Amino acid sequence: MPDDSIVHLDTIPELSAETMALSARLDSLEDEFAKLAGEYQTLQSTVIPNLNSKYQLNIGVVEYGIFLVKVEIRRIKRKISLMQFHFNRGERPDLSQIEKTLDLEFAEWRKKLESKLEEIRKAEDLKNSDKLSMEDTKELYSIYRSLIKRLHPDLNPNQTESDRNIWLRILTAHKCGDIDEMRILATLVKAQIKIDTPKSSLLKERCSKTEKLIFSLLEKIADLKARHPLSLRDNIEDERWISETKTGLVKELEHAEAEKRRCLDMLDSYGKEEQ
């Protein structure tokens, strides 16, 4: 009688060559997705803010000054126009009413100025914030990339509530550069990993889905790189370009301030005419 307790090796089902190839292909695709997803998130949370901060504090602050002076010139000219309107009708201009009119007309310009000023304030805050060392930054990115493959919702659509909460913590830690929190999360996720070999019937479907996700990420990354400030990355990181651009803008600001003084002189003459 045969011994049922003995398991013969030739009775163990082997993975087909196709299944093994598909499994390896899926693993490679998921690695590529994790790499691109990490790059995309890093561009958004680190590279773009840092580039924008440098741009704003060197170029943007002068551009703001030019914009401010040009808005002031526009307002002075409009004030002169309103005063001239009353003079043409033989009336004495009501300056307080004119100022109220100007406040209403220039409300949108004021919002634009405030928005630009807020960008500069944020850039200053980022410059003064504590930053990770190069080693910690590399570790943060490495851990984040490894966790993407395990918990990114696009690769793991059947997440548990616990998985979703951990993923949100991972995103926050990456965005805030919290290396200690990221280390804790890496340990937590490692302890929860379960070996789950997908059925061969799902491998092709998952490969196709991951390929589409990779293509979508490549498009998103290309779009980011085509827009400010990444479109000017080489220039922003070039101190010579920064210096030359700033010098040109300072000259433009000086011309704008000279024009503002001429407009103020004209306004002053209108004030004397009123008297």
Cα separation, 96 vs 99, in Å, equals 5
- pLDDT tens per residue across span 85-140: 988 888 888 999 999 999 999 999 999 999 999 999 999 998 888 777 888 888 99
- Tell me what pLDDT residue 10 has: 46
Q: Within 13 Å and on the Cβ side, how many CA atoms surround 89?
A: 8
First-to-final CA distance of the chain: 126
Task: Indicate the residue type of 160.
Answer: T
- Phi, psi torsion values for 4, nearest 5 degrees: -70, -15
Spatial separation of the C-alpha atoms in residues 84 and 78, rounded to whole Å: 10
Q: Which two tokens stand for residue 61?
A: 């602050």
Q: What is the pLDDT of residue 35?
A: 92
Cα-based distances in Å from 174 to 46, 169, 225, 257: 9, 9, 20, 44
Let me know the angle formed at the C-alpha of 45 by 244 and 140, rounded to the nearest 5 degrees: 115
37 CB neighbour count, 10 Å cutoff: 22
pLDDT of 66: 97
Say how far apart CA 224 and CA 179 lie, in whole Å: 25
Q: State phi, psi for 129 to the nearest 5 degrees.
A: -80, 155
Burial of 39 (0-12, 13-18, 19+ CB in 10 A): middle
Query: Could you report the average pLDDT of every consecutive run of 10 residues in the chain (275 residues)?
Result: 45 64 89 92 90 96 97 96 90 92 96 95 88 84 89 86 90 89 88 61 86 95 96 96 97 97 90 58
Rounded to 5 degrees, φ, ψ at 144 are -60, -45
Q: pTM of the predicted model, to two decimals? A: 0.78
CA–CA gap between residue 124 and residue 126 (Å, rounded): 5
